[in-house]
Amino acid sequence: MDHKVYILVVEDELEVMDALVKDLEKFEPFFPIETANTAKEAKEVIDYVLDHGHTIGLILCDHVLPGKNGVDLLIELQSDPHTSISKKVLVTGQAGQDDTILAINKADLDHYISKPWTEEELEMVVRDELTDFIIEQGKDLLSYMQILDAEKLSEAMRKKKMTDH
């Protein structure tokens, strides 16, 4: 797999980042994880990943970030065609309703995880979102069978075969 689909985690508290990355470990053989502590760094990392011919499949973003908050970052990324296709999940300890509504309306937020999260919850959200991403982007679905939602992937493959015929 030369062309890789990345997971980007944006979180400024190092202990929290540590825990998030740890819980996402099992996805890493299929989806390399990149991390960023600030919105600025996140954009640099995204540029780097895209420059090397890869894509960002999923962005997990903290709400309170230094400089620019997570919602603003997600809105900005939504306006870029390279990252508008990426699934976006807000991970937050304190987003007010207004901010959440803004994120849903303007950043096409795909999911919202409130802190503290559970490993099962995080895994489920990440699996669902990445499954959708892989299907939407027409990747080689078979190679993701063991890590993503196999049922959904086979369903998608069946449909694809039918339309191909």
- Residues in touch with another protein (CB under 8 A): 14-15, 17-19, 21, 25, 28-29, 32-37, 41, 45, 64, 66-67, 94, 96, 98
| Residue 117 DSSP label | P
Q: Are strands 55-62 and 87-92 parallel, antiparallel or unpaired?
A: parallel
Residue 34 token pair: 């990149």
Amino acid at 146: Q
Neighbouring residues of 76: CB distance < 8 A, sequence distance ≥ 6:
68
Query: Shortest Cβ distance from residue 56 to another protein (Å)?
Result: 15
Query: Shortest Cβ distance from residue 67 to another protein (Å)?
Result: 7
Cβ closest to another protein, residue 102 vs residue 157: 102
- How far apart are alpha carbons 60 and 74 in whole angstroms? 10
Cβ closest to another protein, residue 76 vs residue 108: 76
Q: How far is CA 160 from the centre of its chain?
A: 24
Query: Shortest Cβ distance from residue 68 to another protein (Å)?
Result: 10
Q: Are strands 55-62 and 33-36 parallel, antiparallel or unpaired?
A: unpaired
Cβ closest to another protein, residue 5 vs residue 156: 5
Cβ closest to another protein, residue 30 vs residue 133: 30
Query: Shortest Cβ distance from residue 17 to another protein (Å)?
Result: 7
Q: Which residue is listed with tokens 């709400």?
A: 63
